[in-house]
């Protein structure tokens, strides 16, 4: 093995050693830590900045070419500061390393929000689930619609967690922050929300390209997790793989034996997903419990996979 390959493998193993306890801590303490550090308010401010760039740069009077160029400029205005923050957090000073660990624990906790999912499940089981969503603000037509949305969110958060982890392994803190900012930009600049294909093309196309591998890994881990989750259909899903693989929520729908789709809220505005799946479109608290269990097992499998990389590479890589 060449010295360059050895260095790359050693770097991946070292970053995995750092990442595994961060992810474990994030699931236990990350969400309350993020709330204490006011991450939800920070996320709202970043969303406002992204929307402001769309309003200022994406004028309807401008040509398609101009909108495309300005969309690229807007994306760079968001990605460059994220890269700079990630580089600053790589400083070897002990207090910087401690700060980075705290911030990333909170960031991953804000990303997955396990306690929020459990609160929604508890409300659904007790019959106290309201039709109002606060994140993002939205009024669902019925509780089934809210549960469909929550099920989609639970799986989507796993995909984002895996994506951020992969880019951390590849490019450390700057890579993880770049991926998460790109994910946010792609959602705010989706064609349905910008009113044209040009302005959000760069963010949307780049994110779909970089997110392809994380989504594939997430789909695979969700399928494996279904083997350990009662009342799911992993083998039946394989018979519908051509239909299920069209969109990420279709794979989830077949695994959970649900029909998922219809209008869903996003931070940038409402969107409509095509209906996929052959089960009931009216999930209840039991379906949500299965979805949470599926997401939790998939996440645990991912953490175990990361932990295994620490021991796969020989010790002489670290010499």
Closest CA to 261 of 148, 125, 158: 148
Mean pLDDT of 149-159: 94
Mean pLDDT of 43-67: 85
Report the domain count for the chain.
Answer: 1
pTM of the full structure: 0.91
Q: Select the more confidently predicted residue: 294 or 190.
A: 294
CA distance 275 to 291: 18
Confidence at 272, pLDDT banded by 50, 70, 90: confident
Place of tokens 């769309």: 54
Q: Select the more confidently predicted residue: 14 or 266.
A: 14
Asked if residue 148 has pLDDT above 50, the reply is yes
Asked if residue 315 has pLDDT above 60, the reply is no
CA distance 3 to 225: 37
CA distance 50 to 82: 13
139 three-state secondary structure:
strand
Q: What pLDDT was estimated at residue 197?
A: 77
Dig out the tokens for 42 from the structure. 């920070």
CA distance 137 to 49: 18
CB 200 within 8 A of CB 189: yes
Residue 9: how many CB atoms within 10 A of its CB?
A: 17
Confidence at 317, pLDDT banded by 50, 70, 90: very low
> Can the peptide bond before residue 136 be classed as cis, meaning omega within 30 degrees of 0?
yes
Q: What pLDDT was estimated at residue 130?
A: 86
pLDDT per position as a tens digit, 213-261: 999 999 999 999 999 999 999 998 888 777 777 788 999 999 999 999 8
Could you give the percent of the chain with pLDDT greater than 90? 56
Could you give the percent of the chain with pLDDT greater than 70? 94
Q: What pLDDT was estimated at residue 63?
A: 86
Place of tokens 């994030």: 26
CB 228 within 8 A of CB 234: no
The whole domain housing 194 covers 3-318
CA distance 125 to 149: 16
Closest CA to 74 of 96, 51, 93, 92: 51
CA distance 163 to 161: 5
128 three-state secondary structure:
coil
Dig out the tokens for 250 from the structure. 């279709």
pLDDT per position as a tens digit, 85-117: 999 999 989 999 999 999 999 999 999 999 999
CA distance 34 to 165: 18
Confidence at 269, pLDDT banded by 50, 70, 90: low
Residue 213: how many CB atoms within 10 A of its CB?
A: 13
CB 217 within 8 A of CB 276: no
Q: What secondary structure does DSSP assign to 71-112, as a single string?
A: HHHHHHHHHHHHHHHHHHTT---HHHHHHHHHHHHHHHHHHH
CB 111 within 8 A of CB 31: no
Q: What pLDDT was estimated at residue 319?
A: 44
Mean pLDDT of 313-318: 48
55 three-state secondary structure:
helix
Helix axes 143-188, 94-112, angle to 10 degrees: 140
- Distance from first CA to last CA of the chain, Å, rounded? 14
Asked if residue 39 has pLDDT above 80, the reply is yes
Mean pLDDT of 35-62: 86
pLDDT per position as a tens digit, 71-92: 999 999 999 999 999 999 999 8
């Amino acid at each position: 093995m060449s010295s360059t390959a050895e260095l790359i493998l050693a770097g991946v193993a070292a970053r995995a050693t750092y990442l595994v306890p961060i992810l474990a801590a994030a699931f236990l303490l990350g969400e309350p830590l993020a709330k204490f550090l006011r991450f939800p308010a920070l996320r709202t401010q970043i969303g406002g900045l992204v929307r402001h760039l769309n309003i200022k740069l994406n004028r309807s009077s401008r040509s398609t070419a101009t909108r495309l160029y300005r969309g690229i400029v807007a994306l760079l205005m968001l990605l460059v500061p994220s890269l700079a923050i990630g580089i600053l957090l790589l400083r070897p000073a002990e207090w910087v390393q401690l700060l980075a660990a705290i911030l990333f624990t909170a960031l991953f906790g804000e990303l997955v929000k396990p306690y929020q999912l459990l609160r929604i499940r508890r409300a659904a089981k007790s019959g106290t689930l309201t039709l109002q969503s606060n994140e993002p603000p939205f009024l669902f037509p019925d509780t089934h619609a809210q549960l469909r949305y929550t099920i989609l969110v639970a799986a989507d958060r796993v995909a984002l967690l895996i994506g951020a982890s992969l880019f951390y392994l590849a490019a450390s803190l700057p890579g993880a922050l770049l991926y998460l900012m790109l994910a946010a930009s792609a959602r705010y600049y989706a064609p349905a929300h910008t009113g044209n294909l040009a302005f959000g093309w760069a963010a949307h196309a780049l994110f779909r390209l970089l997110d392809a591998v994380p989504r594939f890994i997430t789909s695979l881990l969700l399928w494996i997790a279904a083997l350990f989750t009662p009342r799911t259909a992993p083998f039946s899903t394989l018979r519908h793989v051509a239909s299920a693989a069209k969109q990420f929520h279709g794979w989830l729908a077949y695994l959970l034996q649900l029909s998922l789709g219809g209008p869903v809220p996003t931070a940038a505005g409402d969107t409509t997903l095509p209906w996929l799946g052959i089960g009931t479109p009216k999930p209840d608290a039991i379906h949500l419990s299965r979805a949470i269990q599926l997401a939790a097992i998939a996440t645990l499998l991912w953490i175990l996979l990361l932990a295994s990389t620490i021991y796969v590479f020989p010790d002489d890589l670290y010499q």
